[in-house]
């Protein structure tokens, strides 16, 4: 089964239990292989920064370029990482060995010069996060554009509003969609507010002591190379940026989750107000067409807050680097990036293909109207009240910055000119 | 308001299991009695807003003033709230009864006009949160000021940095404290970024239909009365503001929790580098002096992220108002406000009274120096490296806005002139 | 005990934000006043156990009886608890002062003899938990009995089964109810498996050193007095029993939550298959009748797992007693007891009053049948298949132990004969 | 980098961010490939059960044997799973296609006969869990045996007990280890209490309608084939067994986490009472030797409770199969299995290699003794008190069932004789 060359494929996880992100861009951007790339990119940027700060000779740029060519097997690295507790330790060893062979011992020693494992891993995670946030922003931005269209298109369609599971009063389909739009913009706003995420280069104990008084200059150069921000101080044990990132990912889950929750209610057989463009099949009931995007989004939105709680607990970290809290953060953060990436992609696809059944919408509204003995005037009054808010939402939406301009590709490789 | 009379005090919770907030300002600001006050304040502000918008006659301002005089027993209200599932339903009934007696039926009917329970309760929660955030900001701001002093005072004191529980390399006490300072400023920044929190006035289904085209105007007037912000749209099922609030409270827990975690390590008997101004007694060991502020802060920081996960899960809310998600949010949010309030107060007290033992700091550093066979030159080099970052932190700190100016008391009562 | 006198009622929490447990038996059993009672009961039982083990003179039984008479104000105690970080420290001081006045210093010194605060507080929490589990078992047991009746009554009523929100195939109302029954029995089973919960009497560091070789005998006597179990070893930092308790409370939430979730689906206006005996009112829509029990149960079921995560994280506790983990456990555990107590009471009430609409059930089934072009034979075949499982569930139910015999009142007071 | 034949290795996760389980038996047992095996095993067992119950012809046993030979690429399956929301749908399609080619359409149709995706996936997850629990029990059992030896060996070594971070009173190293032992046995007990985990075979809506009155018989045969238990009723939306499993995995984390927490305190440089057999290297400080097993265990113990909260929230599942709750359960459950598997393996390794420094233990105790002005008599009295509890713990340990006999390999393949 499977078989990757001779090496047996053992222990690999390709999302078989996570259809919400299996095959997604976010998955590819956060795979073990992508992480290795980001770690190596960080080590290369460090060499360039050392040269830029006049610490290492300019000739080390060849060394930086070399690093990207060193073959690293993520599978082997994962197992090697156990002994020291993190993947940077064996990675640096592999890089140094290869560089020593190519450039000699002295040059190779510039690798990881002055950095600690946490600098490189935290920086790599922020690079992965930057990439994922860019596609999340692209997908949510496209979803928002589509939702703005739908809000306009359906602003004149009165529907039943439901509270606590019960038919309540009329609203419009346009206003319900405008709510989805506003929530999506909220999530986009929280993503923008994070940018750029910070680089880390504080050395083993937060003093970057190897650089002496040049620490801030090296950090600034390092961060600039990677299009990340340079923090005031070490964030080895000051995790506000990670908390903020986790919060933004929960926001993404909430934005998509809200749309999904509404579609799940509205697509129930007896209600029948909407269906997804194409339904999910059932393994046992040929007649079924399941709201599969919505339920996958819903499943992701349920996981994100609990994972954020791990990040939150890990934000309390003792002394200069903690014994456990930091290590507990890695996998939950990657999982959150994947879940949010999957939510954004599926939400975009979901809203793109929603098929509303206006007959059903009208029928359900008629049910309420007759229960209350109301006439069309009544419906019209509610429609007009709702429409004021659609205007307000669309107006606010115009004022928003362009959410499409988040660009993970801005990140330059280490060989680029400074 | 409240007042038990003969009724036996049953079921009351005064923080006996929560010494982190028992007796704190945050507790008083979030008690059931304070909540009743905030609910009534919201109902009164609504009446004024209706008058301001020309919907209700100006004479209803007397009605608004009357509401604050109606005696409401929080204990009874809590039990009455069960039948409808929220406290606003019986509260409105009590207010209307009293107002009918005083002003007649027609005037009394302006109470709660066009609002739904969630409007009043969400708004009241934001009022409580505003109050608590103000004292949190005051306490954290004072702690930050103190930490800035300590960072300056101890910038020349070399100490052992510890990573993964082990002695690592030198840093300075000033830099460790500068890390606490920066984390505290991060939390303050996240609090400021929330301000002002939103009011809610969207009516039963988010259309504020009773106000027709005047919905936005009434909302703006209502929010203005309460010094809250007016949202674009209903946030009955768009909970980004609540997520952001929860995230800021987790940030507060992390900021105080970091200081506490370091004090817990440094105050261990064998390490002995710091002690709290006064130690906690033991019920069984007279010789003990426990770092009680630190452990209470630590206990709060452990609870906040899990409670935020409830808020996060509740952010996915179906249709116009959900069946369970919203109700699940109330008590966790109050508990978070209290925990964060307690953390801020205890952190201020903690940093105010820290007593460092410079002999112990030197002794532990000497242990490292002899293990590595290093001399004082080595220590000095590390000290200078660390000091560069203390400068950077202090400089960044100067640029921060004054965090003391958050003012919960800005909130005006309903009888104030508009 | 308690009684505020002139003191204004500040900071009290009576469940105004927790209608799921406001006014419930579980609330009363876990109030601060009830906790004070349990703490005092523990201290009194310790004195009796010391006498029983021959350590204290038999005459100290009068001292034990005296303790219950010492007036303790929970509000004041809560604030006094801050200094030492737990309420037992000031409580013991009050008890000793009163006993010294009544019996002299020497006798009073038997109070808390050999115990540590954690012994008394952990024991008191287990007493509260025992009480709450007894009423939870009573309520869930009554609900189960009712559900067994309903399963029989409705075993012949075919209804639509729904999967992923969509109509799927027929089942019977009897089988759906049998699922509720089985889930309820699962929760009851997990409660029974916990009994009796452990007492704690391990002294300041787990050696009960004050009792020398008599430690186990004193522990056994102490536990016996309180109808709790005597653990093998100190559980100050071995929290399996608390984890098990938390898991059982989550099970209670899941059992009630499942019924509530189904009622929330089935009671939607367009589906209309069931309604609660009496609906919840709305503050803004007179025509509404909300499924209020179900949504309150649902709101509780959402909170329990997150609170259990705090308990889970606190189960890792360093050395003989930890700096933060234990303190973080108290309030979440109490909240879980209250939520589970509220869920059980509301579930009992909910299932007692469910009103099924057989016409709606038939109409919705007809919708499926016509969509699939099936006839009654088809429905009958599904009914017969379902009925086999109803038989199996009822048979399993007969074999269950009587869940009504959990009796919190077995706990004897300290003045009882041994 | 990486490269598996021609196919680019995209999206694979090999534990690079999870050194706690990278390369572990638990990882291999829960890989996507292992999951495919378990899914296929379930489908094959179903065919055998149908034959055993006389529903399918006996000749279908060849079909069952065939299934294990069908090549399935987990990577492709993961992506195919997105459309329907779960991997069973495309898997069944692949199996049917292959079987149709080999045996014809009619025979191939016995595949998945009467089952639904959830039956096969839930059953497969329980098979994976059974495997992991077996190695967890083996590892924890070995750790417990070692701990029993250590408790005996060190029962006469007095050490400092610490509470709230401070030196408190003497205990013995033997008693501290006996606490680890008892906690480990508690976790083993909770694992045993789960066995055997349940199979699922309830059909699309819990009635197993395709089997008519034979449903229970087919379920019993199916469960028997897989050495799983046969539940009373469908557990599609009754998740007590999954909650119990999650709780046991949290117990494993707590048991290992307690040992790790103590080692992290005791191995601090200034305390120096213990070190791991071999220390973890640092990427930046050659002199460091980090307690890497302990911190990896600690990092896992921090994640387990939050993941259990997702399981807990998913335990509330509406109607016959829910829209999101079930899907949210899969990946967290797998992650929990891996984390617990890693904790057990690392704990076994940790306790096997602990090196205590008796000089440091004595030196730290002397610090306490001089602070209190006590002599050796005092220490001896504490040692004797502690030793009573060591006896009690060892005695209790003897009475425990043999924890090594859990055997995942009992699970028979479908081709085995019945």
Contact D291 B165 (CB under 8 A): yes
CATH of D25-403, one of 1.20.200.10, 1.10.3720.10, 3.40.50.720, 3.40.50.300: 1.20.200.10
What is the pLDDT at residue A318?
A: 97
Contact between C278 and B286 (Cβ < 8 Å): no
What is the pLDDT at residue D399?
A: 62
| C414 pLDDT above the threshold of 60 | no
Catalytic residue among C282, C302, C384, C392: C282
Residue B83 main-chain phi, psi, to 5 deg: -60, -45
Tens digits of residue pLDDT in C297-323: 999 999 999 999 999 999 999 999 999
Task: Read off the pLDDT band of C282 (50, 70, 90).
Answer: confident
Q: Which two tokens stand for residue C251?
A: 């099970």
Helix (H) or strand (E) holding C167: strand C166-172
**D238 → closest Cβ in C183, C213, C396:** C183
Q: Nearest CA of chain D to the CA of B323: how many Å?
A: 13
Q: Taking chain D, what is the end-to-end CA distance rounded to the nearest angstrom?
A: 48
Helix (H) or strand (E) holding D172: strand D166-172
Cα separation, D140 vs A26, whole angstroms: 37
Q: What is the mean pLDDT of residues A216-225?
A: 98
Residue with tokens 């002055």: A114
Q: Nearest CA of chain B to the CA of C92: how many Å?
A: 8
What is the pLDDT at residue C345?
A: 98
> What number of other Cβ atoms are within 10 A of residue B249's Cβ?
32
Percent of chain D with pLDDT over 70: 93
Contact C282 A163 (CB under 8 A): yes
What is the pLDDT at residue C416?
A: 34
Q: Among residues B247, D180, D318, A355, which one has the least CA distance to residue C319?
A: D180
As a whole number of Å, the CA-based R_g of chain D is 25
Q: Which residues contact C226 (CB under 8 A, 6 or more apart)?
A: C41, C42, C45, C123, C127, C199, C411, C412
What is the pLDDT at residue C115?
A: 98
Q: What is the mean pLDDT of residues C281-297?
A: 87
| A403 pLDDT above the threshold of 70 | no
Q: How far is CA A162 from CA A168, A176, B215, in A?
A: 5, 11, 20
Helix (H) or strand (E) holding B218: helix B215-225
Residue with tokens 């909430």: A254
* Average of per-residue pLDDT values in chain C: 92
Residues of chain A in Cβ contact (below 8 Å) with chain C: 160, 162-169, 264-265, 267-271, 280, 282, 285, 287-292, 295, 306, 309, 313, 364, 367-368, 371-372
Q: Which two tokens stand for residue D310?
A: 């997702």
Tens digits of residue pLDDT in A91-131: 999 999 999 999 999 999 999 999 999 999 999 999 999 99
| D288 pLDDT above the threshold of 90 | no
Cα separation, A101 vs A104, whole angstroms: 6
Q: What is the mean pLDDT of residues A249-255?
A: 98
Contact C323 B77 (CB under 8 A): no
Catalytic residue among B25, B293, B321, B334: B321
Chains contacting A (3+ CB pairs below 8 angstroms): B, C, D
Bridge partners of residue B280, in order along the sequence? B290
Percent of chain A with pLDDT over 70: 93
Q: Among residues C117, C120, C112, C126, which one has the least CA distance to residue C64?
A: C112
Tens digits of residue pLDDT in D98-132: 999 999 999 999 999 999 999 999 999 999 999 99
Q: Is the peptide bond before B67 cis (omega within 30 degrees of 0)?
A: no
What is the pLDDT at residue A284?
A: 78
Q: What is the mean pLDDT of residues A374-386?
A: 96
Q: Among residues B317, A262, A367, which one has the least CA distance to residue C287?
A: A367
Query: pTM surpassing 0.90?
Result: yes
Query: What is A280-333 written as a DSSP string?
Result: BP-SS-TT--B-HHHHHHHHHHHHHHHHHHHHHHHT---SSB-SSTTTTTHHHH
Residue A165 main-chain phi, psi, to 5 deg: 85, -5
**C–D CB contacts, 8 A cutoff, strictly below:** 280
The more confidently predicted of residues A383 and A412 is: A383
Percent of chain D with pLDDT over 90: 88
Task: Read off the pLDDT band of C400 (50, 70, 90).
Answer: low
Q: Nearest CA of chain C to the CA of A50: how many Å?
A: 42
Which of B157, B385, B391, B394 has the most A C-beta neighbours within 10 Å, making it the best mutation to test the interface with A?
Answer: B385
The more confidently predicted of residues D413 and D162 is: D162
Cα separation, C71 vs C63, whole angstroms: 15
> What number of other Cβ atoms are within 10 A of residue B44's Cβ?
25
Calculated CA dihedral for residues B289, B294, B295, B299, nearest 10 degrees: 170
Q: Which residues of C119-151 are buried (b: 16+ CB within 10 A; e: fewer)?
A: bbbbbbbbbbbbbbbbbbbbbbbbbbbbbbebb
Give Cα A358 to chain centroid, integer Å: 35
Tens digits of residue pLDDT in D188-231: 999 999 999 999 999 999 999 999 999 999 999 999 999 999 99
Question: Could you list the active site residues of A?
Answer: 282, 321
Contact C17 B27 (CB under 8 A): no
Cα separation, C166 vs D193, whole angstroms: 37
Q: Taking chain A, what is the end-to-end CA distance rounded to the nearest angstrom?
A: 47
Max intra-chain CA distance, chain C: 89
| D370 pLDDT above the threshold of 70 | yes
Helix (H) or strand (E) holding C82: helix C74-84
- Reading phi first (left if > 0) and then psi (alpha if -120 to 50, else beta), residue A223 is in alpha
Q: Among residues B257, B255, B123, B125, which one has the least CA distance to residue B191?
A: B255
Contact between A259 and A346 (Cβ < 8 Å): no
What is the pLDDT at residue C340?
A: 98
Chains contacting B (3+ CB pairs below 8 angstroms): A, C, D
Contact between A237 and A322 (Cβ < 8 Å): yes
Domain boundaries along the sequence of chain C:
25-403
What is the pLDDT at residue B399?
A: 63
Torsional sign, CA C148, C150, C156, C158: negative
What is the pLDDT at residue D359?
A: 98
For the ranges A333-342, B58-67, C92-101, D276-285, the lowest mean pLDDT is seen at: D276-285
What is the pLDDT at residue A415?
A: 33
Q: What is the mean pLDDT of residues C200-224?
A: 98
What is the pLDDT at residue C11?
A: 63
What is the pLDDT at residue D403?
A: 40
Q: What is the mean pLDDT of residues A34-62?
A: 96
Contact between C338 and C135 (Cβ < 8 Å): no
Q: Nearest CA of chain C to the CA of B32: how many Å?
A: 5
| C5 pLDDT above the threshold of 80 | no
Most confident option among A414-418, C11-15, D288-292: D288-292
What is the pLDDT at residue B11?
A: 63
Max intra-chain CA distance, chain D: 89
Task: Read off the pLDDT band of C144 (50, 70, 90).
Answer: very high
Catalytic residue among C321, C348, C369, C411: C321
What is the pLDDT at residue D286?
A: 78
| A10 pLDDT above the threshold of 70 | no
What is the pLDDT at residue C397?
A: 86
Contact D161 C322 (CB under 8 A): no
Cα separation, D359 vs A338, whole angstroms: 50
Q: DSSP label at A11?
A: S
Q: How high is the ipTM of this complex? A: 0.94
What is the pLDDT at residue A11?
A: 62
| A389 pLDDT above the threshold of 90 | yes
| C417 pLDDT above the threshold of 60 | no
Chains contacting D (3+ CB pairs below 8 angstroms): A, B, C
Contact between A353 and B198 (Cβ < 8 Å): no
Calculated CA dihedral for residues C145, C149, C154, C156, nearest 10 degrees: 120
Q: Among residues A131, A130, A122, A104, which one has the least CA distance to residue A46?
A: A122
Task: Read off the pLDDT band of D10 (50, 70, 90).
Answer: low
Calculated CA dihedral for residues B392, B395, B401, B404, nearest 10 degrees: 90
pLDDT averaged per 10 residues, chain B (length 418): 39 91 96 97 98 94 96 95 96 98 97 98 98 98 98 98 97 98 97 96 98 98 98 98 98 98 98 91 80 98 98 98 97 98 98 97 97 95 98 86 40 34
For the ranges B210-224, C277-291, C363-377, D348-362, the lowest mean pLDDT is seen at: C277-291
Contact between D130 and D411 (Cβ < 8 Å): yes
What is the pLDDT at residue A2?
A: 31
Query: What is C187-256 written as a DSSP string?
Result: HHHHHHHHPSPBP---TTTSS-GGGGGGHHHHHHHHHHHTT-BPPSS--TT--HHHHHHHHHHHHHHHHH
What is the pLDDT at residue C81?
A: 97
Contact between D220 and D231 (Cβ < 8 Å): no
* Cα atoms found within 13 Å of the Cα of residue A212, Cβ hemisphere only: 6
Contact between D165 and B268 (Cβ < 8 Å): yes
What is the pLDDT at residue C10?
A: 55
* Average of per-residue pLDDT values in chain D: 92
């Amino acid at each position: 089964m499977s078989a990757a060359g001779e090496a047996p494929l053992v222990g690999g996880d390709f999302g078989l239990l996570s259809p919400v992100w299996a095959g997604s861009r976010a998955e590819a951007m956060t795979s073990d292989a992508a992480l290795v790339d980001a770690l190596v990119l960080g080590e290369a940027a460090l060499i360039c920064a050392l040269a830029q700060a006049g610490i290492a000779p300019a000739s080390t740029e060849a060394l930086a370029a070399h690093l990207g060519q060193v073959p690293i097997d993520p599978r082997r690295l994962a197992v090697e990482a156990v002994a020291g507790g993190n993947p940077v330790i064996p990675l640096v060893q592999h890089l140094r060995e290869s560089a020593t062979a190519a450039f000699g011992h002295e040059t190779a020693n510039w690798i990881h010069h002055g950095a600690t494992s946490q600098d490189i891993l935290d920086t790599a995670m922020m690079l992965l996060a930057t990439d994922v946030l860019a596609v999340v922003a692209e997908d949510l931005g496209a979803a928002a554009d589509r939702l703005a269209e739908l809000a306009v298109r359906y602003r004149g369609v009165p529907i039943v509003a439901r509270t606590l599971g019960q038919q309540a009063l009329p609203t419009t389909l346009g206003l319900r969609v405008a709510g989805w739009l506003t929530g999506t913009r909220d999530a986009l706003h929280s993503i923008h507010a994070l940018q750029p995420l910070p680089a880390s280069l504080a050395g083993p104990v937060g003093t970057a002591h190897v650089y002496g008084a040049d620490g801030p200059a090296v950090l600034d150069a390092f961060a600039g190379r990677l299009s990340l921000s340079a923090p005031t101080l070490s964030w080895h044990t000051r995790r506000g940026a990670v908390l903020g990132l986790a919060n933004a990912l929960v926001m993404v889950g909430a934005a998509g989750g809200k749309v999904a929750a509404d579609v799940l209610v509205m697509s129930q057989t007896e209600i029948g107000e909407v269906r997804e463009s194409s339904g999910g099949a059932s393994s046992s009931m040929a007649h079924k067409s399941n709201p599969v995007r919505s339920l996958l989004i819903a499943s992701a939105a349920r996981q994100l807050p609990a994972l954020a709680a791990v990040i939150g607990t890990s934000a309390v970290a003792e002394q200069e680097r903690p014994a456990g809290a930091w290590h507990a953060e890695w996998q939950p953060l990657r999982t959150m990036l994947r879940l949010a990436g999957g939510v954004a992609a599926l939400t975009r696809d979901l809203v793109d293909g929603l098929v509303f059944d206006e007959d059903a919408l009208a029928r359900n509204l008629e049910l309420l109207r007759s229960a209350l003995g109301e006439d069309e005037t009544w419906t019209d009054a509610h429609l007009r009240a709702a429409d004021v808010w659609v205007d307000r939402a669309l107006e606010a939406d115009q004022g928003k910055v362009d959410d499409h301009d988040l660009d993970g590709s801005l990140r330059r490789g280490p060989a680029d000119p400074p």
